[in-house]
């Protein structure tokens, strides 16, 4: 437990409320101080180590990106935003800003303390799962699910700018390959969602590892390998995405059993997850990254063929290669517009 030695800044413009929160924090063994404005909190950060910022923010101020401002001054400081009846776009914005959590006021002080304790003891953000679940529980289920997908994808892109639009690309290829294999409309829609969310677990991987340009150390690579399981854990808590959670967990398994996290071999891995794996690798090869240039199309297809039967399902690989060669105009290459994959 980290709460006993933690230091928290409370941003609250109501002195009486701030005093009550500080008293409750003290009773929980958490050292805290209060300030009346976010700017005052930012001025504290360079002067001492701060574990967490609990900030009451007006909904109209959500675009000020308090989490981003905090992160630039103190990368290890977590931020919990307290908003009054936030709209779904405000929750999405908070996710994109990498807030650790969002609480809705009015809220019992005991619940605030519980949220702070949970954040101090947890390495992974709680907001994406909480937000997506809230969005799914509100309004029309189908539209809410799509909003949840968009919110979670924003979280990945904010965390790892090098995967910007990568999830959309993977969904595009996965849908095309599934269609070529005769998937039903409902199966394709589930696959589309899983493909859009396949890297959501990266929000639990430290930033410096995700953006590292050089070779990863063994320990860093092991942290990267956690992202399928982390993503599955997030999605498994959302009723609408429980099927997709299993696909996200297994999108880095290999046909020869040398993948992760579970070392599944052959058709032990669900077919949709195998499709996402091929789509993921294809886009990674065709797109530019800071550490590599984009592969020419024939080189990328040659790599798919070379790994047929080892990394990739042989039958699926042949389907993918055939589709790519017959539909070269639909390949996403540097400079080409990304196809829309989130339409209902």
Task: Please state at what angle helix 271-286 crosses helix 242-249, rounded to 10 degrees.
Answer: 60
The closest alpha carbon to 43, from 83, 9, 20, 78, belongs to: 9
How many residues are recorded in the chain? Answer: 344
User: What is the DSSP track for 272-334?
Assistant: HHHHHHHHHHHHHHHS-BTTBPPPPHHHHHHHHHHTBTTTB-HHHHHHHHHHHHH-GGGS--T
Report long-range pairs for 138-143 (Cβ below 8 Å, ≥24 apart): 138/88, 141/240, 142/344, 143/344
Q: Which helix (H) or strand (E) holds 158?
A: helix 141-159
Q: Dihedral, CA atoms, 167, 170, 174, 176, nearest 10 degrees?
A: 110
User: Exactly one of 159, 202, 258, 330 is catalytic; which is it?
Assistant: 202
In 181-265, which residue ranges form alpha helices assigned H by DSSP? Answer: 185-196, 207-210, 218-224, 227-236, 242-249
What is the distance between the terminal CA atoms of the chain, rounded to a whole angstrom?
Answer: 44
Which residues, at least 6 apart from 162, have a Cβ–Cβ distance to it below 8 Å? 210, 211, 289, 290
What b/e sequence results for 70-92 when a residue is b if at least 16 CB atoms lie within 10 Å of its CB, and e otherwise?
Answer: bbeebeebbbbbbbeebebebbb
Helices (H) and strands (E) in the chain, counts: 16, 5
**Does 202 qualify as catalytic in the annotation?**
yes
- Torsions phi, psi for 236 (to 5 deg): -65, -20
Active centre residues (catalytic): 202
């Amino acid at each position: 437990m980290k709460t006993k030695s933690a230091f928290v800044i409370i941003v609250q413009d109501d002195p009486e409320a701030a005093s009550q929160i500080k008293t409750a924090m003290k009773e929980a063994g958490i050292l805290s101080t209060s300030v009346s404005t976010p700017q005052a909190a930012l001025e504290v950060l360079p002067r001492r180590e701060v574990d967490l910022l609990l900030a009451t923010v007006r909904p109209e101020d959500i675009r000020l990106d308090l989490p981003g401002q905090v992160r630039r001054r103190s990368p290890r400081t977590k931020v919990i935003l307290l908003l009054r009846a936030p709209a779904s776009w405000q929750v999405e914005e908070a996710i994109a800003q990498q807030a650790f959590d969002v609480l809705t006021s009015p809220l019992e002080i005991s619940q605030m303390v519980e949220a702070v304790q949970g954040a101090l003891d947890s390495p992974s953000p709680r907001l994406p799962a909480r937000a997506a679940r809230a969005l799914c529980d509100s309004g029309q289920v189908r539209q809410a699910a799509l909003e949840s997908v968009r919110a979670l994808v924003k979280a990945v892109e904010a965390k790892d700018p090098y995967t910007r639009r990568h999830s959309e690309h993977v969904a595009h290829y996965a849908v095309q390959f599934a269609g070529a294999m005769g998937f039903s409309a409902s199966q394709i829609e589930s696959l589309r969602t899983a493909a859009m969310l396949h890297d959501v677990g990266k929000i639990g991987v430290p930033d410096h590892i995700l953006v590292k340009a050089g070779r990863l150390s063994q320990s860093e690579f092991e942290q990267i390998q956690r992202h399928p399981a982390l993503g599955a854990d997030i999605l498994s808590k959302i009723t609408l995405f429980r099927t997709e959670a299993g696909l996200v967990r297994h999108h880095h398994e290999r046909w020869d059993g040398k993948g992760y996290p579970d070392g599944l071999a052959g058709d032990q891995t669900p077919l949709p997850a195998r499709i996402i794996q091929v789509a993921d690798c294809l886009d990674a090869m065709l797109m530019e990254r800071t550490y590599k240039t984009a592969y020419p199309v024939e080189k990328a297809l040659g790599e798919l063929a070379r790994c047929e039967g080892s990394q990739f399902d042989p039958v699926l690989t042949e389907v993918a290669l055939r589709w790519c060669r017959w539909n070269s105009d639909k390949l996403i290459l540097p400079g080409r517009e990304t196809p829309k994959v989130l339409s209902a």
